[in-house]
Amino acid sequence: MLTLHSPLRGWCAPLDETPDEVFAQRLLGDGVAIDPTGDTLHAPCDGEIVSVAASKHAVAVRAENGAEILLHVGIDTVVLAGEGFQALVQAGDRVRQGQPLLKFDLDVLARGAKSLITPMLITNGDRFSVVEACVGVGVDVGDALFKVVNAAEDAAAAAGGAGQEESLSFVVPLEHGIHARPAALIANFAKTQAHEINIKAHGRSANARSAVSLMALGVKHGDEMTLVASGDGARSVLDRLKQLVLGISEAPHAGSADKAARSHVASKDSEPEPGQERAHEQRGASETTAGGVRSISSGSRLRGVIASRGLAVGRAVTLKAAEIAVVEAGRGIGHESAEFERARDEVRARLNQLAQHSQGAAKDVITAHLEFIDDWELVASARRAISRGKSAAFAWRRAVRDSADTLRALGDPRMAERVDDLIDLESQVLLALSGEAPTAIPALPERAILVADDLKPSQLVSLDATKLAGICLAAGGPTSHVAILAAAMGVPALVALGPAVLAVEDGAWLVLDAEQGNLSISPDQIALAAAEQTLASRRQRQQTERAAAHADCRTADGERIEVFANLASIAEAQVAVAHGAEGCGLLRTEFLFLERESPPSEDEQLQQYQGIARALDGRPLVIRTLDIGGDKPIPYLPLPAEENPALGLRGVRTSLWRPDLLRVQLRAILRVQPVDQCRVLLPMITDPAEIRAVRRMLDEVRRELSIGTPVQVGAMIETPSSAVIAGRIVREVDFLSIGTNDLTQYTLAMDRGHAELAHRIDGLHPAVLNLIAMTVDAADEHHKLVAVCGGLASEPAAVPILIGLGVRELSVVPTLVPQLKSLIRTLTVEACRSLAQRALGMDTAEAVRALANEPMTPARGLLPAE
Ligand code: PEP
Ligand code: MG
């Protein structure tokens, strides 16, 4: 079977769409038609030139298998009598696939011919037929277009082989459905496959190579999705794509792997995550006219949605969005096509440069923009419009806005937020086309509070963060990239303040309270002074906490409590040390190598572990062996389909199921220098036999590496079974670490990712506390250390209870170390014990939480707050 490749860049359509009956009715043969945006016709395969028309508008090529291919540039182009064409080959020449055959002037053709549509067809259809034609997509030169089978192969195909369409349906397990990240992963996979893959859902279909089209399908958690492809090996391609989708981890972007703990802290402290607090209807005291906002009075207050928490006092810097003028008519197809490619190249190069210097949330934004700039469907749609005579700017804006409208119409806030990225990218390309500077961001004065209708992520990342005190947006969404970026930059932000905020004058004093959701405009001197005072004392408190964060942490009555950090990257290790962490109590190694198709090698792992050990500068490093499965699937290790993954192959069970991977990981851990800095932690232990099995392998690896020093091994207590027999488990290990996230999930039989149950899955439930108490007692009896590394340890309300239960080591979200250390210094062990005893005897989590949130008074046994 022969694959024919696209001879042109453009849009590939079925032959039926050719505006000429001879071609449309396949009187000359079967094939496809391309609406070109490029000006050079290339060879679709290796072969020999059979003929070049005298008027140079058509070329026939004979492939090595004998198939004859006619390439006919445009319709009725024969009337041009060669004008605008330049033949680069002649009859009898041997050509290689991709070799230029003809050049033509798109503008001359557009003026003089009926249509630019270029049929490519097989003229000896008696011997050959066309299969797997890829139509309805944008194509580039060299893309696979269709296959040609000869009669004998055709018969085999008809008997159930080559051309058969394969489909694979399954229910999408991803918590947020096919949003931007999964769509990008699918598109990247599809782009590397020769097969054309379509994805169907809700009665619609999308080309799998276009992330934007995939998002527009609006596939949500629990929806059925069907993958379709045809041809040899299609089944295996679909299987691999399915595994990829099922294996997509919903873990957050790098640098925020402690989401589980953080979101838990946020919900239990009733501190909403960005955006959970909705704007009240009171939308400011401005006067509005039919034409918009006219003025806003001094001392007025607007309510907004919290996008990034904090308090700021500063002067308004207003950012007026300048609409970029776009003309509809192009200045010639060739010119506009070239301009379009130049502008995209320019934006792509700038984004690639920015990507090298950014990390975390900023990097995520840039990665999304890089994905969209080459999105299959967006680019094809713009090229189609250019080939119809539109300007590049008009074509790009139309393509982007159509996609943005489709995403908005889904009514899914997560998808609608991606519209921000599309619109951002729209203006980046339009600016590049217009030759203007990429951003119109003003130079910021000190303590600037930016006021704008909306802000693009690219604008935010180009602002001077040291001068930016806050952000106020009339529009915007609380889960947008701007919100994530602002939080990562530590800049308080309110969004959805309404149009009234746009009436704020440049230089006006503002108090941005992104704790309560208020913006005070030109407050009076007393209010301003009060806000400055609050800000100062808050800074003072944080500074004091940070300054004291590096000292040993003891309770007020002298008990030593160690505060470690949970980590998932080298960058987080640096943050943790700067915040006074005494070591790493939990390295979630599964987050180090997300989204890979193959397992990380021993050396790759060693490099990461060693980097973290170095960043910790001698402090202890507890490395947890891979904890995958359940809510943490990993593409490079597709697990068998399970009815209930949380109760299936997870944690140490997966490692014992794939001992080859465990051995590589243990070797990497043991090779970290110095050897005694690392301890090994085993997740999801349910009985001592699992520990013995890992220990046997560990001993073998130590012998292989000639390591005499004993390596400390710990077990995670995160199943009720391990807590109940903690006394037997602890005999096998050097320390225990309680994973309250899973312990709570399994004790309460509530999925830790279940949105409806989120407010009930509470680690302060008395059943969970009793299991923690049993574990601590067992460890004490055997004089072994017990730590808590689950989300409960990061909750200020829970810390006194944990200390009261006997926990002496906490491993927490890195940036919370200073706050928790300063809290611990106000506690006495005796008071904590009596609090814990009362909590153990309560009936419900609510009751424990009410007790834990009672103000700290001497009467309750706690020292008063400082
Ligand atoms: C836990 O379960 O509490 C824990 C620390 O492990 P993870 O959150 O990674 O499952
Ligand atoms: Mg766990």
Interval 691-745: pLDDT, tens: 999 999 999 999 999 999 999 999 999 999 999 999 999 999 999 999 999 999 9
pLDDT of residue 35: 87
| Nearest atom (ligand 1) to Cα of 740 | 3
Ligand 2 centre to CA of 628 (Å) is 10
Closest residue by CA, ligand 1 atom 10: 742
- 179-193, 240-254, 482-496, 528-542: least confidently modelled range: 240-254
Ligand 1 centre to CA of 493 (Å) is 30
Ligand 1 centre to CA of 742 (Å) is 6
Percent of the chain with pLDDT over 70: 86
Residues with CB under 6 A from ligand 1: 260, 586, 588, 627, 718, 739-742, 789-790
Please write the tens of the pLDDT for every residue from 181-202: 788 889 888 888 888 899 999 8
Whether 281 shows a pLDDT value over 50: the answer reads no
Closest residue by CA, ligand 1 atom 4: 739
Higher pLDDT, 425 or 298: 425
Centroid of chain to Cα 652? 27
- 204-218, 742-756, 836-850: least confidently modelled range: 742-756
Catalytic residue at 584?
A: no
| Non-local CB neighbours of 459 within 8 Å, separated by 6+ positions | 319, 424, 439, 441
pLDDT of residue 759: 65
Closest residue by CA, ligand 1 atom 8: 741
Whether 156 shows a pLDDT value over 90: the answer reads no
Helices (H), 388-447: 392-409, 413-434
Euclidean distance between CA atoms 644 and 288, whole angstroms: 56
Phi-psi region of 808 (alpha: psi -120 to 50; beta: other; left: phi over 0): alpha
| Nearest atom (ligand 1) to Cα of 741 | 3
Confidence of residue 516 (pLDDT cuts 50, 70, 90): confident
Ligand 2 centre to CA of 348 (Å) is 40
Q: How far is the CA of 456 from the CAs of 120, 261, 308, 349, 452, in angstroms? A: 43, 29, 16, 19, 10
Euclidean distance between CA atoms 252 and 250, whole angstroms: 6
Euclidean distance between CA atoms 580 and 553, whole angstroms: 10
In the numeric block, which tokens belong to residue 216?
Answer: 């527009």
Confidence of residue 642 (pLDDT cuts 50, 70, 90): confident
| Nearest atom (ligand 1) to Cα of 566 | 5
Q: Which residue has the tokens 């962490």?
A: 581
The bound ligand whose nearest atom lies closest to the alpha carbon of 590 is 1
Ligand 1 centre to CA of 638 (Å) is 21
Euclidean distance between CA atoms 478 and 304, whole angstroms: 10
Catalytic residue at 789?
A: yes
| Nearest atom (ligand 1) to Cα of 739 | 3
Please write the tens of the pLDDT for every residue from 14-57: 887 788 877 887 878 889 999 888 899 999 999 999 888 888 99
pLDDT of residue 268: 32
Q: How far is the CA of 329 from the CAs of 138, 382, 386, 847, in angstroms? A: 22, 13, 9, 69
Instruction: Tabulate helix, strand, coil % of the chain (nearest 5).
Output: 40, 20, 40
Whether 298 shows a pLDDT value over 80: the answer reads no
Euclidean distance between CA atoms 170 and 528, whole angstroms: 58
Please write the tens of the pLDDT for every residue from 406-456: 888 887 766 766 787 888 888 889 988 987 655 456 778 899 999 998 887
End-to-end CA distance of the chain: 80
Please tell me whether residue 586 adopts helix, strand or coil conformation: strand
Residue of 750, 789, 802 to mutate, ligand 1, most atoms within 8 A of C-beta: 789
**b/e code 488-512 from CB counts within 10 Å (16+ = b):** bbebbbbbbbbebbbbbeeebbbbb
Section 777-787 average pLDDT:
97
Residue of 567, 584, 627, 631 to mutate, ligand 1, most atoms within 8 A of C-beta: 627
- Catalytic site residue from 72, 481, 579, 765: 481
pLDDT of residue 628: 84
Whether 294 shows a pLDDT value over 50: the answer reads no
Which residue, 526, 524, 518, is CA-closest to 311? 518
The bound ligand whose nearest atom lies closest to the alpha carbon of 588 is 1
pLDDT of residue 153: 58
Whether 590 shows a pLDDT value over 90: the answer reads no
Euclidean distance between CA atoms 8 and 11, whole angstroms: 9
Closest residue by CA, ligand 1 atom 3: 739
Q: If you compute the radius of gyration of the chain from its CA atoms, what whole number of angstroms results?
A: 32
Q: Which residue has the tokens 């180009």?
A: 462
**b/e code 195-220 from CB counts within 10 Å (16+ = b):** bbbbbbbeeeebbbbbbbbbbbbbbb
| Nearest atom (ligand 1) to Cα of 737 | 5
Euclidean distance between CA atoms 713 and 697, whole angstroms: 12
The bound ligand whose nearest atom lies closest to the alpha carbon of 568 is 1
Whether 859 shows a pLDDT value over 50: the answer reads no
Residue of 268, 716, 745 to mutate, ligand 1, most atoms within 8 A of C-beta: 716
Ligand 1 centre to CA of 644 (Å) is 18
The bound ligand whose nearest atom lies closest to the alpha carbon of 622 is 1
Residue of 625, 741, 811 to mutate, ligand 1, most atoms within 8 A of C-beta: 741
| Nearest atom (ligand 1) to Cα of 792 | 3
Whether 1 shows a pLDDT value over 60: the answer reads yes
Q: Which residue has the tokens 């940070």?
A: 546
Cα dihedral sign for 537, 543, 548, 554?
positive
Residue type, 120: M
| Non-local CB neighbours of 288 within 8 Å, separated by 6+ positions | 294, 499, 500
The bound ligand whose nearest atom lies closest to the alpha carbon of 744 is 1
Whether 266 shows a pLDDT value over 70: the answer reads no
Residue of 258, 718, 768, 813 to mutate, ligand 1, most atoms within 8 A of C-beta: 718
Confidence of residue 477 (pLDDT cuts 50, 70, 90): low
Whether 560 shows a pLDDT value over 80: the answer reads yes
Average pLDDT, the chain: 84
**b/e code 338-347 from CB counts within 10 Å (16+ = b):** ebbbebbebb
Which residue, 27, 95, 30, is CA-closest to 59? 95
Ligand 1 centre to CA of 741 (Å) is 5
Q: Which residue has the tokens 């119809």?
A: 388
pLDDT of residue 342: 93
Section 81-89 average pLDDT:
92
Please write the tens of the pLDDT for every residue from 363-387: 767 788 888 999 988 888 898 888 8
Euclidean distance between CA atoms 424 and 481, whole angstroms: 11
DSSP codes of every residue in 468-513:
EEEEEESS--TTSHHHHHHHHHT--EEE---GGGGGPPTT-EEEEE
Residues in the chain: 866
The bound ligand whose nearest atom lies closest to the alpha carbon of 790 is 1
| Nearest atom (ligand 1) to Cα of 683 | 6
Euclidean distance between CA atoms 419 and 412, whole angstroms: 11
Ligand 2 centre to CA of 102 (Å) is 63
Closest residue by CA, ligand 1 atom 1: 739
pLDDT of residue 284: 32
Whether 58 shows a pLDDT value over 50: the answer reads yes
Please write the tens of the pLDDT for every residue from 161-179: 446 788 999 999 887 788 8
- Catalytic site residue from 45, 584, 789, 832: 789
- 78-87, 335-344, 749-758: least confidently modelled range: 749-758
Ligand 2 centre to CA of 718 (Å) is 6
Please write the tens of the pLDDT for every residue from 667-680: 999 999 999 999 99
Q: Which of 396-410, 605-619, 631-645 has the highest mean pLDDT?
A: 605-619
Whether 478 shows a pLDDT value over 80: the answer reads no
| Nearest atom (ligand 1) to Cα of 718 | 2
**b/e code 802-840 from CB counts within 10 Å (16+ = b):** bbbbbbbbbbbbbbbbbbbbbbbbbbbbebbbebbebbb
Ligand 2 centre to CA of 743 (Å) is 8
Euclidean distance between CA atoms 559 and 555, whole angstroms: 5
Euclidean distance between CA atoms 168 and 481, whole angstroms: 33
Euclidean distance between CA atoms 390 and 392, whole angstroms: 6
Please tell me whether residue 111 adopts helix, strand or coil conformation: helix
Centroid of chain to Cα 324? 30
| Non-local CB neighbours of 85 within 8 Å, separated by 6+ positions | 55, 56, 57, 73, 77, 102, 103, 104, 105
* pTM as predicted: 0.51
pLDDT of residue 491: 87
In the numeric block, which tokens belong to residue 263?
Answer: 């979101």
Centroid of chain to Cα 617? 31
Residue 80, exposed/middle/buried by CB under 10 A (0-12, 13-18, 19+)? Answer: buried
Confidence of residue 481 (pLDDT cuts 50, 70, 90): low
Euclidean distance between CA atoms 342 and 22, whole angstroms: 37
Euclidean distance between CA atoms 43 and 46, whole angstroms: 7
